[in-house]
Structure 1
Amino acid sequence: MSSVAQLPPANDFDATWTFLEKGLDQIMNRLEEGLDRTRYSILYSAVHNFCARGSPPQTAGGAYSGPLNHRAATHLIGAELYNSLSKWLEDHLTKIRTESEKFMDEALLQYYTKQWIRYTTAARVVNNIFMYLNRYWVKREIDEDRKNDVHDVFTLTLVCWKRHMFQFVHHNVIAAVLKLIERERNGETIETGLVKNIVESFVSLGLDTTDSTKSNLDVYREFFETPFISATEVYYTTESEKFISENSVPDYMKKADVRLGEEENRVQIYLHESTHKPLISKCETVLVKNHTEAIWEGFQNLIDLDKQDDLHRMYALLARIPEGLDPLRVRFETHVRKAGLGAIERIAQQDADPKTYVDALLEVHRKYNDLVQTAFSGESGFVAALDKACGEFVNRNKVCKNSTSKSPELLARYCDSLLKKSAKNPEENELEDVMNSIMTVFKYVEDKDVFQKFYSRMLAKRLVNGTSASDDAEGSMISKLKEACGFEYTSRLQRMLTDMSLSKELNDSFKERMQQSYDNSGTNGKFDFNILVLAANQWPFSAPTTSFNLPEDVIKTYDRFQKFYQNKHSGRKLTWLFQFCKAELKTSYLKGSKAGYTFQVSAYQMGVLLQYNSGTSYTFEELKESTALSPEVLTSALGILVKAKVLLLNNGEKVGDNGSKYDLNFDFKSKKIRINLNLQMKTEQKVETDETHKTIEEDRKYLMQAAIVRIMKTRKVMKHVALIEEVITQLQSRFKPRVPDIKKCIDILLEKEFIERVDGQKDMYSYVA
């Protein structure tokens, strides 16, 4: 048996409202019992019938037949229903509010949440039942702005909750929520879903009364977020001050890190996402910014003990606040500089060789570069601090106490030892890694022109003497230097390699020509001959400082090559650099030596020894006359021959003394078959080093003068201080010009009239066109 409730008369408001009131009671208080479709339809029809009796004419199907213009809208009815619904909601919420007074703390939250969910669920059903009221009467009221306090029915339910429930209980609700969150911060497990529901209810009450389709976070921020942030500040201020006073800085940082992570999770689990920024910002201020002094003070101890995990935690915490990392960068730079200076001071006491020196620099850089990448996440400020510190101890340390050019010189010498043929040469892959490490040090070298000059001389010697370990390695190193400093920096180095290739082709061509001559004459060549023809302006060599008579044994080949080359390149002049020439001489005069020895000698030593094909004893003056060598050069050549006991000197005589006599040693013996006598004396090395530095100083003067002219040609007029600053800026990639040296160059250019002083202004220069 089923029954259908009868609709009240459309023109009887009291009957209509009584009917609807019963439906509202069921929806709001017993919705869980269910609201069948028939009951829903009848309630909807009751609202429709009451409101529609004042509507414009409808079609036979009941549908509205035309646009709702202003005149038709005046017949819309609904005020009585709207007002009665508002009053009914007020009464309903008053009962709920009165009931809520029985509860406190978590029980209040349980009750509030349960009622909120029931109420909002029912409110959606009520809104649908009163949809006709929304569509016509409410719409007209809002459109014509007759009443600011009229809303669609669903918004009305929320407005009523806010007025008659929320406004009275929010203090207790917020207090309960904050207590619950504090319990969670104290380590207790709480029902996070309860807090989430409260938060969502506060967000839902952010109503835009002018547009029901929009909402805001005003209620949430005013009644929840603001007190929540304040409570957070109080909680962590108390906790952090107590904890840091009783524990170490690393332990405090761990605590702060955990707390920040918990607050991040709190936002994810039950807070509105908009709270993330103010909450985390407040926590960063309380947990980090308010304790920066203590955290900064703990830095030195951590870096001394190499506590990378703690250092990373410190970095991560201080990176959260403005300028929090600045003191750390300064202290890090100071620490690295001291570490570098200390490392060099330790090896400086042992008169360190280039490899030991460069390895010491690299070890410090490698250690702290790894620290920057791991503990400080490669942050640019720490990278800059590392670079600045390395620049200091690479260029100004105990080894460099007299000159900043010592580092580039030692670096070039290390490259030389690395790229020379040796049993200690690293494998190809390892060599590439070592060269990359060298470039790391090179990056910090200020006087790159010093490195270039020494490297150029040493490369030239390796190529001329055939001692390069690998053409590929030489090319790879030059490519790295080119990448670091540009084409101009390495153009001469590259040209040296090119000259070596061209010389090989020239040798092959000359040997082929000589072989044809020997074949035609029916003779065989007595010795092997190789020649290197080098472009004079590309190689760091100067003309010989002594005359030299070529021995008769090689004069014919010398003349043949001169003729061959002039025929091939007419107009070119060959300058023979005998000081770099070398030879191999085979012995046949020694007693008991069947195979004989092979002496590897310089051209000047060859000139001396070949004299002994005609005699067995010569005085210093006789050898000087026959070879035409200067006394200094002859003394140096004889010194090594005497030291090796190839020639014998009478007791009491010294090499180079007038009248000293040199006898061929027929009892010479050696464990080696091939004996290298072409050795450079330490005094010669020092002279060469001094000459290189002298050349560098001369080159710098020309570079500074060229820079001044270039700048003045562009600017035309310039102040003294500005000109000096610009010269330093332009040249600092090659070397760091000293101000006194720039002033001297300015004076030279004033004398040469490239520039002049501006009348009446001593500190102003103008360019002379």
Structure 2
Amino acid sequence: MDKGKAVDRGSNGFAPAKKPTLVIKGFKNKPKLPDDFEQTSWQKLEKAVRAIQSSQRVQDSLEELYRTVENLCLHKYSETTYTRLSQEMERQIKSVKAKLESFPPSASLAFLAEVRDAWTEHCRQMLLIRSLFLYLDRTYALQTNGIHPIWELSVDMFRTFVLTPGGATLVGSMKGLLLQITSERNGNVVSRDLLRSIVQALLDLDLYDLIFEPELLAETDRFYTEEGDRLTSEVTQAPDGGVALSHLLKRVEQRVQEESNRCTPNVGYLTPSSRRKLTQLAEAQFVKRNARALLDAGFDKLMDAKATDDLTRLYTVFNRIQCQDLLRDKFTNYTKTKGSAIVTDTTRDATLVDDLLEFKLRIDTTVSGPFRNDESFVHAAKESFERFINIRPNKPAELVAKYIDNLMRQGKGLTDQEQEGLLDRCLSLFRFIQGKDVFEAFYKRDLAKRLLLNRSSSDDAEKSMLMKLRQECGSQFTSKLEAMFKDIELSKDLATAFKATTTAQTLDVDLSVSVLAQGVWPSYPKMEVAVPEALARCTKVFADFYVGKHKGRKLDWQPALAHCTLKASFPKATKELNVSFFQTLVLLLFNENKSLSFREIQQATRLEAKELTRVMQSLALGKVRVLNKSPKSKDVSDDHLFEVNETFQHELFRVKINAIQQKETPEEQKATNTRVFEDRKHVVDAVIVRIMKSRKTLSHTELTREVFGQLKFPLDAKELKKVIEGLIDREFLRRDDKDASMFVYVA
């Protein structure tokens, strides 16, 4: 052995044996198919196909039959096999056609059941046959252009020979199906399983969308047109259209739900694709065709009845049928009509603001609820309120101001949160008012009384309302109102400084004075009364103190706004009486007189008769009677006598005697409005001059349009003409020499 070479050995030390080689030799001659191979193979398959079609037992195994088809295809008999199978399928389907056509022409349930059974059996047979010929289907039918796969071929044949478009079988099937749907719509129970099977057959045969659904929609249109017209007639002829419209809306809702149910998988029998078409038809024929007549007959009644559910149904339907404009217009007309009736009814002035607040709450609730805060309805409500609330240009502004005054003084037993909410609601009415300057005038007058007579129920509420007005209208609108609050605060500081003086400390009266800027506060008529010497000395001491601090200023006293606290000693108890200054003048007279007549009291106080009458009624005829009157009647005459009520008693130590408030006279209202109109005149003057200074020359029409565009309050065209004529007289403007309708600014 050569030591230089390694020898490869197995694990036992011996060299491995060579691997054996397998050699396969082909036939010397190709095997030849029997001459009848194709014929015998098909006969076996034909026998199996016919057994399946006749629901008999197939003698050969399915595997053997599958191999037979495979062998035919492998030996290039695919085309003839496909052709022969097609012929067998056609023969069978034609026999089904003949059987169905043998039924008498009808749309009975029995006929529908036969059609269903025929299609169901056909599908069962073809699924089994296709499984036998699956190799042919995959290798030939699916790979060859111009021919159908076996399943599609069977469907096409069934459609061509059995459910032929226009043929008696399909026509009868659809008619029967539609009759069953109509029957169910009329409240009868139908076999949904049967109908579902027929619909599925139409879907499988591609007959549902093109052939059946148009007929379904036409029948649905006819059905709901008839029912819709009948119910609409009931609504328009009913004594109460609201009730009838409510019934119709519920019927629409029910019908929509029913149609949706018919198109719900596993529950109904129609396809989901038909749902929207059917529900739209129901809504269109019930509502859209007669939308205006329905609204005219019942909408106002639903609004009056606050029928939230029915209004929700109404909005939902009108939104879906794209008739929102009709509904919005009807809503706008309702709001304007009802609102105008509230505003123009002068007998309701006492409750006007409450009525408007209630009406606005109802409208807002309708918009936010049933109408889902639809922006177009929000705008319609706003535009309607702006229109009707200004039909009476100034009265709503005046009454809203007075309503807030009453709320601020009494609070109506509300919590702070409830009062704040009511103020916000009042402000929502204020926003619609064009004559905000009228509101300001009355609000300022009432605010002055509240501040000076301590009649506000809450300082926080006063400041909150002032802030709301500033946010709403700007600081210019509230500047004078804010100055009034500032005067009250300054007066408190001034009172503290005055009481610290030596002179003030020598007075027998604890005096507090509110010093008001004349240009800020409302103007008050000056009343000359006889002031007792002790009180006159107090006012003189304060006047000297004030003038000493503010050189050149002058004080005008307003006794009508003053109030006092008196210590009164009655036989049974000593009380503190909180009274007005005029009540004080009267009561002080009884320190030296046991009995006085009305004439004597008037001579001593120099009060006007009407004012003194109210004072005496408050002291002798009110809830707190510190004086007795003789005779005991409600009216007061010159010779009626008054004396101290010696038996007076009250559970409280501090007793407030309310003055009888004089009702606002038409003259006072007119005076307030006159001041507003005078202020407006100055504003209009300034606007016209500012416009003409900028434009130099304008026609009357152009000037009128620009003035109305800049004014924040309503102005009659006749009033504007007077203002323009006044400016011409004062030589701010002149008419053009060639065209009298043109105005020229005079520099």
Q: Give the TM-score normalised by the residue count of structure 1.
A: 0.68
Q: Give yes or no for contact 1:302–1:311 (8 Å, CA) kept in 2.
A: no
- After superposition, residues 96-245 of structure 1 pair within 5 angstroms as 96-103=96-103, 105-120=108-123, 123=126, 141-142=144-145, 149-167=146-164, 168=167, 169-206=169-206, 219-239=207-227
Matches of 2:299 and 2:472, distance apart in 1: 34
* C-alpha separation in 2, matches of 1:40 and 1:30: 17
In structure 2, the CA distance between the partners of 1:265 and 1:675, relative to structure 1 (3 Å rule), is closer
Q: 2:440 aligns with which of 452, 458, 462?
A: 452
Give the corresponding residue for 2:338.
336
Q: Which residue of 1 aligns with 2:670?
A: 690
2:399 — aligned with what? 410
Match for residue 55 of structure 1? none
Q: Deviation of residue 220 (structure 1)?
A: 1.9
Does structure 1 retain, via aligned residues, the 8 Å contact 2:252–2:282? Answer: no
Flag the 1:737–1:252 CA change in 2: closer, same or farther, 3 A.
same
Residue pairs, 1:252-291, within 5 angstroms: 255=251, 257-268=253-264, 269-291=268-290
CA contact (8 A) 1:543 1:575 kept: no
Contact residue 571 and residue 646 of structure 2 kept, 8 A = no
State the distance in 2 between where 1:195 and 1:369 align: 48
Other structure's SS at 1:232 match: helix
* CA shift for structure 1 position 87: 3.3
Cross-structure match for 1:5? none
Counterpart amino acid of residue 38 in structure 1: E
Contact 2:398 2:439 in 1 (8 A): yes
Is the Cα contact below 8 Å between 2:260 and 2:275 reproduced in 1?
yes
Which of 509, 514, 517 is the aligned partner of 1:527? 509
Q: Share of identical aligned residues, percent?
A: 26
Question: Which of 690, 700, 706 does residue 680 from structure 2 map onto?
Answer: 700
What SS does the aligned partner of 1:174 have? helix
1:441, distance to aligned residue in structure 2 (A):
4.2
**What SS does the corresponding residue of 1:420 show, helix, strand or coil?**
helix
Structure 1 counterpart of 2:718, one-letter code: P
> In terms of mean alpha carbon deviation, does 255-264 or 412-421 score higher?
255-264
Match for 1:742: what amino acid? Answer: L
Matching residue's letter, 1:45: E
For the pair 1:359 / 2:361, whether they are aligned, the reply is no
- 2:713 corresponds to which of 735, 742, 747: 735
Residue 73 of structure 1 aligns with which residue? none
Unpaired runs of at least 5, structure 1: 1-7, 52-76, 143-148, 207-218, 397-402, 648-659
Match of 1:553 in 2: 538
For residues 181 and 680 of structure 1, do their structure 2 counterparts lie closer, same or farther at Cα, with a shift above 3 Å needed? closer
* Pairs within 5 Å for 1:292-691: 295-296=294-295, 298-299=297-298, 302=301, 306=305, 308=307, 321=321, 322=323, 325=327, 328-329=330-331, 332-333=334-335, 336-337=338-339, 340=342, 344=345, 347=347, 354=350, 356-363=351-358, 394-396=389-391, 404-420=393-409, 425-439=413-427, 441-482=429-470, 484-485=472-473, 488-501=476-489, 503-505=491-493, 507-508=495-496, 510=497, 514-515=499-500, 517-518=501-502, 526-532=508-514, 539-542=520-523, 551-564=536-549, 566=550, 578=558, 582-584=562-564, 586=566, 600-602=579-581, 671=648, 682=662, 688-691=668-671
User: How far apart, in 2, do the equivalents of 1:601 and 1:242 lie?
Assistant: 73
Q: Evaluate the alpha carbon distance shift between residue 667 and residue 313 of structure 1 in structure 2; reply closer, same or farther with a 3 A threshold.
A: closer
Contact 1:499–1:533 under 8 Å retained in 2: yes
Q: Which amino acid aligns with 2:281?
A: K
Taking the aligned partners of 1:719 and 1:98, their CA distance within structure 2 comes to 92
Deviations 1:605-642 (A, max 9, x none): 879989x99xxx9xx9xx99x99xxx9x9888878778
| SS class of match (1:270) | coil
Q: Secondary structure of the residue that 2:398 maps to in structure 1?
A: helix
For 2:482 and 2:356, locate their aligned partners in 1 and report how far apart those are by CA, in whole Å: 28
| CA positional deviation for 1:37 | 7.4
Structure 2: distance between partners of 1:483 and 1:640: 40
Q: 1:723 to 1:99 in 2, by over 3 A?
A: farther
Paired letter, 1:182: T
Q: Is the 8 A contact 1:411 1:438 kept in 2?
A: yes
TM-superposed CA distance for 1:754, in Å, is: 7.2
Cα deviation, 1:87-141, whole Å, max 9, x if unaligned, reads 3332232122222224453223223223334444555566666666566655665
SS of residue matched to 2:564: strand
Q: 1:671 to 1:40 in 2, by over 3 A?
A: farther
Are residues 254 and 577 of structure 1, via their aligned partners in 2, closer, same or farther at CA, if it must alter by over 3 Å? same
- CA displacement, residues 636-679 of structure 1 (integer Å, 9 cap, x when unaligned): 887877887999xxxxxxxxxxxx9xxx9997989589898996
Name the SS of the counterpart of 1:42 in structure 2.
helix
Contact 1:755 1:765 (C-alpha < 8 Å) held by counterparts: yes
Q: Report the Cα distance in structure 2 between the residues aligned to 1:195 and 1:139, rounded to whole angstroms.
A: 33
Q: Cα distance, 1:697 vs. partner?
A: 0.7
Counterpart code for 1:90? E
Q: How far apart are residue 474 of structure 1 and its match?
A: 1.6
| Structure-2 change in CA distance of 1:691 and 1:307 (3 Å) | closer
Q: Spell out, residue by residue over 1:127-158, the C-alpha distance to the aligned partner (whole angstroms, 9 max, x if none).
A: 6666665666556654xxxxxx4344443333
TM-score by length of 2: 0.70
Q: Distance in 1 between matches of 2:580 and 2:230?
A: 82
Distance 1:716 1:278, change over 3 A: farther
> What's the offset of the Cα at 1:469?
0.8
Distance 1:191 1:438, change over 3 A: same
State the superposition RMSD in angstroms.
Answer: 5.5
Q: 1:358 touches 1:414 (CA, 8 Å); kept in 2?
A: yes
**Conserved? CA contact 1:604–1:634, under 8 Å:** no
For 1:240-295, what per-residue CA distance to the aligned partner results, in whole angstroms no more than 9, with x for missing partners? Answer: 55677789562666555544443332233222223233323333343334555764
